[in-house]
Amino acid sequence: MENEDLTQLKTVYDELWSDAKTMIRDVTRTIKVVYFYSTLMFVIAALMFLSAHQTYMKIILGSTRTLDYFYLAAESFFMIIMIVAGIWCVRWYNKLKNRYSRIIQLEKTFED
The answer to whether residue 7 is domain-embedded is: no
The answer to whether residue 15 is domain-embedded is: no
The answer to whether residue 83 is domain-embedded is: yes
Under 8 Å between Cβ of 42 and 86? yes
Instruction: Residue count of the chain, please give it.
Output: 112
Under 8 Å between Cβ of 48 and 80? no
Q: Which helix (H) or strand (E) holds 80?
A: helix 66-99
Q: Rounded CA gap, 24 and 6, in Å?
A: 25
Q: How many domains does the chain have?
A: 1
pTM of the model: 0.76
| 19-37: pLDDT as tens digits | 777 888 888 899 999 999 9
Q: Which domain holds residue 47?
A: 26-111
The answer to whether residue 36 is domain-embedded is: yes
The answer to whether residue 1 is domain-embedded is: no
Q: Rounded CA gap, 44 and 82, in Å?
A: 7
Sequence-separated (6 or more) residues with CB below 8 Å from residue 30: 96
Q: For residue 52, is pLDDT > 80? A: yes
Least confident of 20-24, 73-77, 80-84: 20-24
Compute φ and ψ for 63, nearest 5 degrees: -70, 130
The answer to whether residue 53 is domain-embedded is: yes
The answer to whether residue 3 is domain-embedded is: no
Can you say whether residue 63 is alpha, beta or left, with left for phi > 0 and alpha for psi between -120 and 50 degrees? beta
The answer to whether residue 77 is domain-embedded is: yes
